[in-house]
Structure 1
Amino acid sequence: MRRSLPVVGDLLAFQSDRLRFITSAHRDQGDVARFRLGPFPVWQLAHPDLVRSVLVTDAAGYRKGMVLQRARVVLGDGLLTAEGDVHRHHRDLVQPAFHSRRITGYASVMVDRSAAVSASWAPREPLDVHAATVRMTLETAGTTLLGASVDVGTVEGALADLLSAYKLAFLPFSQKLQGLPVGPLRRLQRGRKRLHGLVDSVVAERATSGRDGGDLLSALVLSDDRLADQELRDEATTLLLAGHETTANTLAFALHLLAVHPSVQASVHDEVDGLGEPGPDDVDRLPLCRAVVSEALRLFPPSWMMGRQALVQHQVGSHVIEPGDLVVLPQWIVHHDERWWPQPYSFDPSRWLGGAAGADRPRWAFFPFGAGLRRCIGEGFAWTEAVLGLATIVRRWRLRPVPGRPLRLDPLITLRPRGGLWLIPEPR
């Protein structure tokens, strides 16, 4: 275990450059690394077999990690943060909305939003494509999940406020500090108020009108097994944030990868041109687009590190994880491990093409959506939106990088581009 500072442990080094910190921990200590973030002993487990153990075989011995525990101040007992019977009950209620048949119905909204937003771009003018994909996915989430138009500025402003408090998650006594109206904590409270106000108005309208818009919120409000008002707010808030943020990031990174690899972009153009205007039934007819999205999820995983907290003692080789210890499973490390991914930092969509692609790779060497009972319920929704969104955009535009505006990463709760992700769209 590395030498740590009193009280804060390795927190300052971690906050200074999170990706470099976890990468160096893996390089120095291997697949089982140990460090301390504030008062919390942390075990970094970076092997696919250990990922399977924590998320699948021994999942009952863990609960959500510290970041999502702290996120309950905003998300309450939504699917991301709830535990035990509450999580199982809510998942059973929400699951039908993510059935493949329902997602096919949502797909037309995904294509329409992608087409409308990208049609507004100015030819040959530098564009923050991350801001654009956020708008696309947020409008889609509002329509398909909440059945309402949402104010993009309000949600993004609230999300920025919430993300500003990420660094506080591992501070000593951070849970007791959350009510103080200072600095990032003031922004956290402001973001929560803005987001809850927006969601409460949508929930109240639906409950009063009894209108069934064919969206997820309608199903929850009108269900015979209706959730309490607080539970409805928690689920609606969670779905609005989780239903757009990670997909927006993935789609932006995929567009960046195409812009800096023009030969692959040309092949994607060929695939999309052969299909015509993308439609709800075309996801399976776009294998190269899906492969590009897969590489974006591997190279820039929106969930760059998953956290759990041990409830019981666990033996990992010669190491003992004690109850209360934190465990982190870093997609950033596992997805870039040369044992599973030859030339791991290279963009190579062919990894995902062909019937035997990945046959010799451990199952959990790729886990962008988690695993086990807590696997992301919206995975199918995200794949559909990312693939169709990519196809819709590249059918209209050829993208190239903006000189002097390199991609910079910001690993907060999710992995985002710092300062936007700037590309130049050229009409095809």
Structure 2
Amino acid sequence: MPSRSLPVVGDLLTFQADRLGFVTAVQREHGDVARFRLGPYPVWQLSHPDHVRSVLVSDAARFRKGMVLQRARVVLGDGLLTAEGDVHRQHRVVVQPAFHSRRVDGYARVMAERAAVTSTSWRPGEPVDVHAATVRMTLETAGATLLGTDLDADVATVEAALADLLSAYKLAFLPFSERLQGLPVGPLRRLRRGRTSLHDLVDRMLADRERSGEDGGDLLSALLLGSGNGAGDGVTGGSPVARSAVRDHAVTLLLAGHETTANTLAFALHLLAHHPAVQARVHAEVDAAAGDEPPDLDRFPLCRAVVSEALRLYPPSWMMGRQAIADHEVDGQVIAAGDLVVLPQWVVHHDHRWWPRPYAFEPDRWLGDGDPGRPRWAFFPFGAGLRRCIGEGFAWTEAVLGLVTIARRWRLRPVPDRPLRLDPLITLRPRRGLWLIPDPR
């Protein structure tokens, strides 16, 4: 156990003070299998790709979702992020067709249009918070493609609600935190406010759709009406889903369907602004494919490599959590049932054993055949196994299209007095924005 551990709180204070530094130090000082304590909870940090495979793939039945997502059920209900066991499998079957590759290809035009509208609003030479811009872009895309709803007037509501929910992250590891949610103080009050805002917005959206009775060919129509998804591959088998479950799915899609992609695209643009030689190569690749509408993603291997490197350097899911439901042995040590397990992408993605010059931005490492000696699970930004992110293809398409669309119009450079600061909460996001200067090409 780390020497910094204290009575009662364990390592919680040190962890909260510098989460990324803490998990990095744990691996450096104690190796790939380390044990510490967050408040009352014993926690095992597993930092080898073989451990990732074991917990998420081969031995996944021995684990359930970790503490943070268990607590998130107060907002997300039994959406895909939080549901367990048979409920999760049933819900995944319901939602999966909306993310089929044919459907995602159909979303591409909307994604490109939203990226173009977003970047057209920038003013030459004026600093812009690209994270705020990508958040608006991805939220409007999720609303249009998945929920068939124009969220333009509601972006501020969703973002304020998300900020309220993220503010409660620090409470996840406090003892009896689930019993404290009724207290009218600080993050708990903001948590309830965020939940109310989201639920009111989604309830209004559902009521409007039910009144109209219109089938928009989107996921929301399929859930409410049992209509299939307009692509010949039925979503619900012809049976409407219970209204409470529809709301859970809609809230989950609103949050998860935009947040991580917005962060990834913002980080990718940040990296290009700080590496003008790579940005020039991206511009050359984009210019060579001018005229494609929407762009054919196969023509942009470097853009995809830039997104891959952004996901490695700044993984939006920076640490995955699980809780053991049965004893599990790893490298001769026993993780007891009830113990928490964390798999930190931040650590594995920056491990020099798998990634030469691990903190350097080198998108060329993703071109060609890659490193044949690198373990499969040295890179897992979307998780792994049966609970691998259902929207992975959606996210890749939107991030690459967003990068291509913005690079066609702008050359980006840093704002000298606004350095990037990271905020590792439920997701890894920029703290107080990510500011760049756009110059017209």
With normalisation by structure 2, the TM-score equals 0.96
Q: Counterparts in 2 of 1:163-242, with a 5 A limit? A: 163-223=166-226, 224-242=238-256
Listed one character per residue, the Cα deviations across residues 233-269 of structure 1 (whole Å, up to 9, x for unaligned) are 0000001100000000000000000000000000000
The one of 411, 417, 422 aligned to 1:409:
422
Q: Aligned partner of 2:198: which letter?
A: L
Q: Distance in 2 between matches of 1:281 and 1:416?
A: 27
8 Å contact kept, 2:52–2:343: yes
> What secondary structure does 2:419 align onto?
coil
Residue of structure 1 in register with 2:37 after alignment: 36
Does 1:288 find its partner at 2:302? yes
2:292 & 2:55 partners in 1: Cα distance?
39
C-alpha distance in 2, partners of 1:26/1:18? 13
| Deviation of the 1:393 alpha carbon | 0.2
Range that drifts further, 68-77 or 175-184: 175-184
Amino acid at match of 1:155: V
Equivalence for 2:231: none
TM-superposed deviation, 1:210:
2.0
Q: Does the 8 Å contact 2:289/2:295 carry over to 1?
A: no
Matched residues in 2 for 1:207 and 1:36: separation?
A: 48
What is the aligned partner in structure 1 of residue 116 from structure 2?
115
In the alignment, the residues of structure 2 paired with residue 339 and residue 225 of structure 1 have an alpha-carbon distance, to the nearest angstrom, of 50
For the pair 1:274 / 2:292, whether they are aligned, the reply is no
User: What is the aligned counterpart of 1:392 among 391, 400, 405?
Assistant: 405
Residue 360 of structure 2 aligns with which residue?
346
Q: Is the 8 A contact 2:224 2:243 kept in 1?
A: no
Q: Deviations over 1:70-107 (max 9, x none)?
A: 00000000000000111000100100110111001111
CA contact (8 A) 1:55 1:372 kept: yes
Q: CA deviation at 1:205?
A: 1.7
1:332 maps to 346
- State the secondary structure of the residue aligned to 1:213: coil
CA distance in 2, matches of 1:332, 1:67: 17
Structure 1 counterpart of 2:235: none
1:351 partner letter: R
Contact 1:142 1:149 in 2 (8 A): yes
Q: Assess if the C-alpha contact under 8 Å between 1:34 and 1:43 holds in 2.
A: yes
1:95 and 2:96 correspond: yes
> Whole-Å Cα distance in 2 between the matches of residues 201 and 100 of structure 1?
30
1:2 paired with 2:16, answer: no
Q: In the alignment, what sits opposite 2:107?
A: 106
- Is the aligned partner of 1:370 residue 2:383? yes
**Does the C-alpha gap of structure 1 residues 136 and 117 become closer, same or farther in structure 2, counting only changes over 3 Å?**
same
Paired residue secondary structure (1:302): coil
The question of whether the paired residues in 1 share the 8 Å contact of 2:12 and 2:38 is answered with yes
CA offset at residue 64 of structure 1? 0.2
Contact between 2:295 and 2:401, CA under 8 Å: does it hold in 1? Answer: no
How far apart, in 1, do the equivalents of 2:7 and 2:321 lie?
23
| Partner Cα distance (1:198, 1:145) in 2 | 15
Deviates more, 1:199-208 or 1:312-321: 199-208
- SS at the partner of 2:334? strand
- Does 1:141 find its partner at 2:155? no
Q: Secondary structure at the match of 2:209?
A: helix
Residue 357 in 1 paired to residue 358 in 2?
no
Per-residue CA shift, 1:19-61, capped at 9, x if unaligned? 0000000011000011000110000000000000000000011
Residue segments in structure 2 that go unaligned for 5+ positions in a row:
227-237
Deviations 1:126-152, CA, capped at 9 Å, x for gaps: 110000000100000010111111211
TM-score by length of 1: 0.99
Distance 2:421 2:292 in 1: 31
**Matched residue of 1:44: which SS?**
strand
Quick check: 1:100–1:380 contact (8 Å CA) kept in 2? yes
Number of corresponding residues:
427
> CA separation in 1, counterparts of 2:213 and 2:53?
43
RMSD, matched Cα: 0.9
For residues 305 and 277 of structure 1, do their structure 2 counterparts lie closer, same or farther at Cα, with a shift above 3 Å needed? Answer: farther
* DSSP 3-state at the match of 1:364: helix
Q: Distance in 2 between matches of 1:215 and 1:266?
A: 38
Distance 1:415 1:277, change over 3 A: farther
Query: CA–CA distance in 2 between the matches of 1:261 and 1:374?
Result: 35
In structure 1, what residue type is equivalent to 2:155?
Answer: V
Task: Single out whichever of 200-209 and 276-285 deviates more from structure 2.
Answer: 276-285
